[in-house]
Structure 1
């Protein structure tokens, strides 16, 4: 014969409706401990109760930290940050409000982890809206990966889970690149000789001369043919003044005077254009 018994209610042991339903086996029932903690003054006894609550909830904090793996941060560091978020949640929780501690602790721990990535690990600075998109899409990607291992989630699937548009989901997924960079010493795929630094572009020192060269073209075109030829032989054929003089049938001194006069003329033309 089955008898229906109502559980006895003891002072300080009442549980909110949310506390009865547990989503994970590692979620402890610390309702009585929190009520006791709230009633105790500062001192050794209160510290012991506080430490016991934190110890009970550490597995939950580690589970939340596990969701942020594969972001380039060591797991030990993630657990440490999550533990800090748990301590903050324990110190701020008010059991008299009637809400389960899990509904307060998990968002607090998650927020602490997000701030850690935002403040310390993001290689490229991103606007806040982009950070939020990245956070939502990344967590959804992790959840989908756990249910369907071996297949990457698409932007459409992420959008369906998060309620974002497909474009917003794709933007958030692309923002993940801000959290990881490649070493310049990394080998190029398919080769053992070349590294990333070998193909990364460098600043072209000639770019600063583009404007001057374009401004100089019409000035050069207006020069007499003899002056154009002397400039060509000097700067494109790399001949000396004496060699130029021998080619065009004048003295070296005349070549020198022509060059000085031509330089002065071109300089004045460039300054006038400026």
Structure 2
């Protein structure tokens, strides 16, 4: 720190280039910026990104430093670095952005939590922080839980020990969807069948009736039911098959 103080005294020395002196001050105090960046690690943001933000904040602070307005160099630089880190978290660090009020409360919680840790000799509880800030405990818990918004898991990441991607665990195959889709496609063709043919289809596929049971229900023999079913299948196949005059078109009703 003594060397930094000496360099600060030479900032306005006409015999030296101010920018060269500033660059040397920045080099000597990079460790300060690194330490401040470490305070914000393990919150879902890449450590290298944090250091770059802190270094840039240090450069800005040194360039703007005026000994006549701020005698304590570190007392001026450290808040500048912390403020830049907090702004970066607030504006650029979110994957899922919470309301601004939650973001601002998080910044206050960070500072108070450090103070309370030193005072209490342990990590403060949400109720401790809430009492110090004068806000409901529920708001503190909400702000703390919102830290998860800084990062999200990739859907390609492996879930637990299953060796399956996380996305696979989010997919639920509902067999009913396929049935609905099939009915939507087939329904127009079925409506073009006669009343007796529709009744035969209902008995066969909805009630799983045998040909003998269908014959008894509609007043025909089993052999006639077999021929009727063949005719119904041919008509449905023709109606549902693509036409030659365009993809996806259906043949006209028989």
1:58 corresponds to 2:34 = no
Aligned to 1:97: 69
Aligned to 2:240: none
Please report the TM-score for the alignment, with normalisation by the length of structure 2.
0.62
Residue of structure 1 aligned with 2:11, choices 34, 37, 51: 37
Q: Deviations over 1:26-61 (max 9, x none)?
A: x668456445424549xx722221112212322222
Distance in 1 between residues matched to 2:173 and 2:71, nearest whole Å? 59
Aligned to 1:217: none
Residue of structure 2 aligned with 1:155, choices 118, 121, 126: 126
Which aligned pairs between 1:137-176 and structure 2 lie closer than 5 A?
Answer: 137-141=109-113, 153-176=124-147
* Kept after mapping to 1: 8 A contact 2:45/2:150: no
Aligned to 2:59: 87
Distance in 1 between residues matched to 2:70 and 2:92, nearest whole Å? 35
SS of the equivalent of 2:68 reads: helix
The alignment yields a C-alpha RMSD, in angstroms, of: 4.6
Residue of structure 2 aligned with 1:182, choices 153, 176, 187: 153
SS of the equivalent of 2:17 reads: helix
1:114 corresponds to 2:86 = yes
1:200 corresponds to 2:170 = yes
Please report the TM-score for the alignment, with normalisation by the length of structure 1.
0.58
Which aligned pairs between 1:211-230 and structure 2 lie closer than 5 A?
Answer: 229-230=199-200
Distance in 2 between residues matched to 1:37 and 1:88, nearest whole Å? 15
- How many Å apart are 1:89 and its aligned residue? 0.7
Q: Deviations over 1:60-117 (max 9, x none)?
A: 2222112101113343332222111011111122222245333332222112212333
- How many Å apart are 1:138 and its aligned residue? 4.0
SS of the equivalent of 1:157 reads: helix
Residue of structure 1 aligned with 2:108, choices 136, 139, 147: 136
Aligned to 1:252: 228
Distance in 1 between residues matched to 2:168 and 2:111, nearest whole Å? 36
Distance in 2 between residues matched to 1:147 and 1:187, nearest whole Å? 40
Q: Evaluate the alpha carbon distance shift between residue 143 and residue 200 of structure 1 in structure 2; reply closer, same or farther with a 3 A threshold.
A: farther
- Number of residue pairs the alignment of both structures matches: 217
Q: Deviations over 1:115-146 (max 9, x none)?
A: 33334432112222221222333454466668
Residue of structure 1 aligned with 2:98, choices 99, 111, 126: 126
